[in-house]
Chain A
């Protein structure tokens, strides 16, 4: 911690970040109320909302400037920059500037703060669980009226597109969507005499885990799976697999018997059988051969393939195991336009999104990042089909989409859900907590928060 009052280093502690997220989430939800209190805006455009500073390079001066807020860094950030650059050079009316923040959470914080200070971008990336909150507080532009003959609902993968539709009106189009896959070390499976595939059920996973855990691999004692405590979408999937859910509408069901059974399975794997552990960094542990399996986003397939290659083993991938029922979550991001941006810029922002949905761009984006091809054109494009032919693992995520489900409403709309679920899984893994007690505590908080937004939800969504 800093000796001064401000947090100083890169290492923002989980607790304070969580607390901040909670505050930011609350603010996002309460913006319409606060907006009436007349925060002075420095803005020139609609309703006192101003555009952030833009600094176009000399060759792009004098165009309509579009601000695009992104949370992607590293490889994905470069891939997006390449496409946006191409757009800027492809025409002479619009200049798009990408302004980058730290991941989806960092972007959500920034956007919440920006709405308070009445300075907003024109187009932004929203994660699968953040766009709903901005929709509920009335900050997302309906996209139907912006659609054209060549860019519309038909452009996108049906199931992915439907996730962004509320009462027939699209607010959020898929761009950088993902779904988790089960990754395994083929070397380890072969040495343990296991078949060369992902386990089909969670019981099989547990059985195999007990056979693998404790084996020697490159001088280390192996474990079956490295768990992450920072993401709750696997838990969302596990709940479905056990016939549970986080909520039915806004009625919280995360403390039901089915949900407790799902949580008990995870707890028992980590604390009774000790075939898994809460890892600092699951990818690193996996590619270094400390664990036999992980579940992770399809977006990490490229990185894991490279990492496994460098480490000298072959990467296997498969569908997530199931139990009583199938069902995998989808995640990742999509694009939305800010309702309070200037109308002329909103129209320009729609053109940018349309450009990114063109076959060439959508296909390149999928191949460069490893995200799902989100448009029909991208899925059938030569570079995507060629990639799948070279490495069939890339096709798995697309096939698995048939089992995909939209997150439960609580996860989408109740701000505290994700934080509560992360807390629950961390308690299960590290404290060996009683599943019923941990889920009960989470459910109580979620129920209270669900009531706060029930009126808005009933009016706009249900």
Chain B
């Protein structure tokens, strides 16, 4: 991204600085407009969700649309909370997400380090296999994973929920690309000074790759938190289920959905992730752009 915008002025036909500045400004107004449109497209559903969660029931379905609630009601939250044991689900989500994403990142960091810096036989083939794993849709492995977890006796346990997702092909790939772009001289110097692999990883590679690691960690957390199909399949009881499954309890199997409580439940489920993402999104951009551009 930076390279294209940086190179464009130099290939432009030569002109005086003043019109160029004006041209740039016009372009940026157009850009602002574009950004605003895109922003609205993304934010509108969020606004609708939040406002519906606090609107009186009738205003959710009213036509023409009632954009601003006439009064703020908390009734939907009370109903959602009553229908679903969200407190228990919240604890479960917290445990599964914490354990799952920590292990996932750890595994990704170690395997990426191996792929980037170690020499071992069959490295290319193994890496190709990892890339291949990126192409496999999750649903294909669902049943196989269920049988494996079943045979391990882990159905309806926290471990059963996060174990199959631990090996992250995407995380490994992203971190390996990032590691390869690091200056070799630093690592060589460290090696000459007698640093082993662990020390090189912890004191040199990781500090230099902070955006990439944070990106992988964040995506892992959000992924683990939002995951629905697998936790639903692998758990049976209320004691083991996670937040997104709570939303299923609010949906009608037959008939007309009560969107108020569903929206209130959705707000409860995504709020932590929304906050986390808002605080950490700059790392994600830096991490993804870093891995893509530098190679």
Contacts and interface: CB of A to CB of B under 8 A. Distances in A.
A300 B254 CA distance: 6
B150 A110 contact: no
A4 B168 contact: yes
A3 interface: yes
A247 interface: no
Nearest to B252: A74
Interface string A15-49: 01101100110010000000000011010000000
A289 B169 CA distance: 48
Contacts of B228: 7-10, 12
A117 B147 contact: yes
Given A219-B64, A303-B254, 4 more contacts: A4-B168, A6-B164, A118-B150, A303-B255
Interface of A: 2-10, 12, 16-17, 19-20, 23-24, 27, 39-40, 42, 52-55, 67, 71-78, 97, 99-103, 106, 109-110, 112-113, 116-119, 178, 218-220, 283-284, 287-289, 297, 299-304, 306-307, 310-311, 369-370
B256 A307 contact: yes
Given A24-B143, A116-B150, A52 B156 contact: yes
Contacts, number: 183
A97 B156 CA distance: 14
B64 A53 contact: no
B159 to A, nearest CB: 14
B165 A6 contact: yes
Contact of A5 (B133, B220, B249): B133
Interface of B: 57-58, 61, 63-64, 83, 133-134, 136-143, 146-147, 149-151, 153, 155-156, 164-165, 168-171, 219-220, 222-223, 226-230, 232-233, 236-237, 239-240, 244, 247-258
B150 A303 contact: no
A4 B151 contact: no
Given A7-B139, A12-B228, A17-B139, A304 B223 contact: no
Given A10-B244, A113-B143, A304 B151 contact: no
Contacts of B250: 73-74
Contacts of B244: 9-10
B281 to A, nearest CB: 15
A38 to B, nearest CB: 11
Nearest to A6: B138
B83 A3 contact: no
A39 B61 contact: no
Contacts of A99: 236-237
A247 B100 CA distance: 49
A42 B251 contact: no
B247 A10 contact: yes
B256 A304 contact: yes
15 contacts: A2-B138, A4-B219, A5-B170, A6-B138, A6-B164, A6-B229, A10-B226, A73-B251, A110-B232, A119-B150, A297-B254, A302-B255, A304-B255, A310-B58, A370-B255
